[in-house]
Structure 1
Amino acid sequence: MTLSRAFLTGLVALILVGSMPASAAEWKDFTADAFAAAQNEGKPILVDVFAAWCPVCRAQNPILVKLTSEPKYKDLVVFKIDFDTQKDALRALNAQSQSTLIVYKGTTELDRSVGDTSAFSIEGMLDKTL
Structure 2
Amino acid sequence: MKKFLLSVFLLTLACGAVASEVPFNQAKFDQARAAGQPVVVYFHADWCPTCRVQQPIVARLAVEPQFKPVTIFEADFDTETALEKTLKVGQQSTFVVFSHGHEVSRSTGQTQEPAIRAILQKAL
Provide TM-score, normalisation by structure 1.
0.81
**Residue pair 2:33, 2:101 contacting (<8 A) in 1 also:** yes
- Gaps of at least 5 residues in structure 2 are 1-11
1:39 to 16, 25, 33: 33
| Cα root mean square deviation, aligned | 1.3
Matched residue of 2:29: which SS?
Answer: helix
Q: Stretches of 4+ moved more than 4 A in 1?
A: none
**What is the aligned partner in structure 2 of residue 60 from structure 1?**
54
The aligned length equals: 111
Provide TM-score, normalisation by structure 2.
0.84
The superposition leaves residues 23-82 of structure 1 with CA deviations (integer Å, 9 ceiling, x where unpaired) of 211122212211110001111011100000001001000110111110111111011111
In 2, Cα distance between equivalents of 1:129 and 1:43: 8
Q: Percent identity?
A: 35
Rg (Cα) greater in structure: 2
Letter in 2 for 1:75: P
The superposition leaves residues 68-119 of structure 1 with CA deviations (integer Å, 9 ceiling, x where unpaired) of 1101111110111111111111111111100001111132111111100011
**What is the aligned partner in structure 1 of residue 7 from structure 2?**
none
